Amino acid sequence: MKNYIIAFLLLFLNLAGFSQTVEFTASVKPVAVVGETFTLTYVLSGQGSGFRGPNISGFDVLSGPNTSTTSSIRSINGRTSMSITYTYSYLLQATREGSFEIPAATVTVDKTQYTSNTVSIKVLKNSGPGQNQASGNRQQSAGGQQGVTSGVNDVYVKAFASNPNPMQGEGITVIYKIFTKVPIAQINISKLSSFSGFWSQNLMKENDKLQQTTQVIDGEQYVVADIRKIALFPLKSGRLVIDPLELECVAQVKRQTRTRSGDPFFDDFFNDSFMSSSYATVEKALKSNPLIISVRPLPEAGKPADFSGAVGNFAFRCEMDKTRLKSNEAVTLKCVVSGEGNLQLIDKMNVNFPPDFETYDPKVTSDIKTTGGGISGSQMFEYLLIPRKPGKFTIKPITFSYYDLKKAKYISLSSPEFTLDVEKGSADASASVTYSGAGKEEIKYIGSDIRHIKDKPFDLNPKGRMFFGSVFFWLLLIIPLAIFLAMIVFWRKVAARRSDTVLMKNLKATKIARKRLRKAEEYQKALKQEEFYVEISQALWGYLSDKFSIPMVALSIDSVHDALVRKNVDEEIIAQFTETLNNTEYARFAPGEKSVNMEKIYAQALEIIAKIERELR
């Protein structure tokens, strides 16, 4: 172990260069079969940006571009160099046979654009295990050779209605279930059903975990899950059609083997990693069945005159906050409908107020609860009334009617009669009030927004003195023009400064370095050693490259030393910077407590950048 430590120490103490030749190459397997998934890879030997992938046709792009970064250090004849590699990859699936050429991709490195090579792939017909073997797609398992198979009924979606023949206004539940014999993932609804002629309410939360059960259908065992549950209230009678729901998913199809385990299911159907070598992934486009709902009209016999379409089982109550008040004072009347049914379709009450009352539209407050069993809660209508004259007033009983499904008849509920004793209020018109809005806080006093004509003496100017042509007039005319010209000069200087890319990189060098150091600190806390040291190394070398306008390919200890000397940086700080670089590379492979080493290197990098900044001021 001691010999390894000494070897690494000698390696990094003799650090002498940092250069890298940029290469950008593409690669893909030469032969695939229809339905097979494979990887298209682009490898860049340098630090690039602005990657632009090819226009891929003839294949389904399952994911990508996915980016990863690696770095390496090597020493030849005492000269040490560091290389950074970026990898861009696509996961593709072959959909049809033929010969295909995938175009080149482009990427930018140090303002230079690089173009990759084109790649060719031949897609063969999937004719079973023999074809897979011919194309090189042969897999081994405990049972032997394997081939991909997927039945039509392996995965499907079906819609169910709790009641296909409801009455108008009666709530029904539509459930969409997915049935699968194979593991699936990435369930994505591409088209929702339209509910023309219904008022709808979703009964499932978007992030709810799918609840799974098992069910035997035609001798086959399926895993079943509810993917969507909707409460529907028909707004009209007749034949109403609910369009199919469409979704896409990725199914994990098991490859056939000569021996079977007897249990084709995973412990968790919907959360498998899809990385087992004995399974293949296949995209599935699924479509549910349409539903036809025959809605029966509500009976005309016994329908109350005030019936407005409420169907369900409800309770009704009304209350008034006070019955004795003065004129121009406000009083609140609350009517609450609660129970189960189409609550949100109840939008008004049948109330008749005395003509001497000033009234406004009610404030409606909904407290609706949606569960898997349906919709319940309450709807509150809050009226604010203002009697303008004194006297004794009566508000007749307020009625509410609904159709009770269980009793199959109309029910009418009524509130008590309310009597208000209104005494004479203040005779001062300025103290009278008016109401505009839904809450008491919006009551305003009449007359407080009227201002009298100003009757105080005005300031008059002597005859013959005019503002036009005065000194103040010319100042107001010239000063904005001078400010405008100054802004133009300033903007041109800023634009010229921004066009100087070398200067901008110099000004932003410290900011970028500190940003990378903060990223390294995150890796340090997560104990991600490899990512931490790569980020520290990039922060130090990138800072020097931007600060002294040295290209990354020409960056080395010698070039950095010369640049620091030209800036009159103290030799001791230059030596400390070199030591920090060496310690960074050594600590990656050095023994000891990982978190302690990372904390020490982070502190050294932060300190040396701060010292160089102070020297350059």
Question: What is the model's pLDDT at position 33?
Answer: 85
Radius of gyration (Cα) for the chain, nearest Å?
39
Looking up tokens 């059960």, which residue turns up?
213
Number of CB atoms found within 10 A of residue 99's CB:
9
Residue 290 lies in a domain: yes
Separation CA 564–CA 544 (nearest Å): 9
| 156-165, 215-224, 406-415, 501-510: range with lowest mean pLDDT | 501-510
190 or 503: which leads in pLDDT? 190
Torsion of CA 52, 57, 62, 65, to 10 degrees: -10
Q: Is residue 597 part of a domain?
A: yes
* pLDDT score of 261 more than 70: no
Closest to 397 (Cα-Cα) out of 412, 411, 387: 412
The verdict on residue 439 lying in a domain is yes
134, 165, 193 — which closes off a domain? 134
pLDDT of residue 599: 81
The answer as to whether 144 is a domain residue is no
pLDDT per position as a tens digit, 37-80: 788 889 888 777 888 888 888 888 877 787 777 766 555 555 55
Residue 457 lies in a domain: no
pLDDT number for residue 497? 64
Give 259 or 22, the one with higher predicted confidence: 22
d(C-alpha 412, C-alpha 316), whole Å: 10
Burial tier of 459 (Cβ tally within 10 Å: 0-12, 13-18, 19+): exposed
Please check the confidence at residue 133 and state whether its pLDDT lies above 50: no
Helix (H, G, I), strand (E, B) or coil at 55: coil
What's the one-letter identity of residue 48? Answer: G
Q: Does 277 share its domain with 211?
A: yes
More reliable by pLDDT, 444 or 370? 370
In a domain, 143, yes or no: no
| 307, pLDDT greater than 80 | yes
How many CA atoms are closer than 13 Å to the CA of 363, on its beta-carbon side? 15
Same domain, 604 and 572: yes
Between 82 and 30, the more confident residue is 30
pLDDT the model gives residue 94: 84
The one-character DSSP state at 283 is: E
| Higher per-residue pLDDT: 248 or 272 | 248
Q: Are residues 164 and 241 in the same domain?
A: yes
What's the maximum distance between 2 C-alpha atoms anywhere in the chain?
115
- Residue 285 in this model has a pLDDT that exceeds 80: yes
Does the pLDDT at position 177 exceed 60? yes
- For residues 216 and 269, membership in a common domain is answered with yes
Residues 6+ apart with CB under 8 A from 385: 330, 331, 332, 333, 353, 357, 358, 359
Closest CA to 385 of 428, 415, 352: 352
Burial of 324 (0-12, 13-18, 19+ CB in 10 A): exposed
Residue 489 has pLDDT above 80, yes or no: yes
CA 162/CA 175 separation, integer angstroms? 8
Residue 464 inside a domain? The answer is: no
Supply the DSSP string of 293-362, one letter for each residue: EEEBPPP-TT--TT--S-BEEEEEEEEES-SEEETT--EEEEEEEEEEE-GGG----B----TTEE--PP
Same domain, 26 and 130: yes
Give the pLDDT mean for 482-504.
Answer: 75
* Residues 327 and 287 placed together within one structural domain of the fold: no
Q: Which CATH number belongs to the domain containing residue 120 in this structure?
A: 2.60.40
On average, the pLDDT of the chain sits at 77
Contact 295, 235 (CB under 8 A): no
Looking up tokens 């897999």 gives 139
User: Is there a single domain that holds both residue 13 and residue 77?
Assistant: yes
Q: Does position 233 have pLDDT exceeding 50, yes or no?
A: yes
In a domain, 150, yes or no: no
Instruction: Say if residue 402 is in the same domain as residue 514.
Output: no
Question: What pTM was estimated for this model as a whole?
Answer: 0.44
CA distances (Å), origin 247, targets 158, 186, 516: 12, 10, 42
CATH of the domain at 523: 1.20.120
Determine the average pLDDT of the residues in 275-296: 78
**Do residues 352 and 389 share a domain?**
yes
Q: What is the pLDDT of residues 450-460, one digit of tens each?
A: 555 666 666 76
**Which pLDDT does position 590 carry in this prediction?**
62
Q: How far apart are CA 565 and CA 405, in angstroms?
A: 92
Mark whether 163 and 264 lie in a shared domain.
yes
Please determine, for residue 297, whether its predicted confidence score (pLDDT) is greater than 90. yes
pLDDT in tens, 313-331: 999 999 999 989 888 888 9
Do 325 and 441 share a domain, yes or no? yes
Q: Are 519 and 601 within one domain?
A: yes
* Mean pLDDT of all residues in 270-295: 71
Give the residue-averaged pLDDT of 431-453.
Answer: 48
State mean pLDDT over 352-356.
86
- CB burial string 472-500: b at 16+ within 10 A, e below: eeeeeeeeeeeeeeeeeeeeeeeeeeeee
Domain ranges, residue 94: 2-134
Is the confidence at residue 312, as pLDDT, over 80?
yes
Domain tally for the chain?
4
pLDDT value at residue 373: 64
- CA quadruple 533, 539, 542, 543: dihedral positive or negative? negative
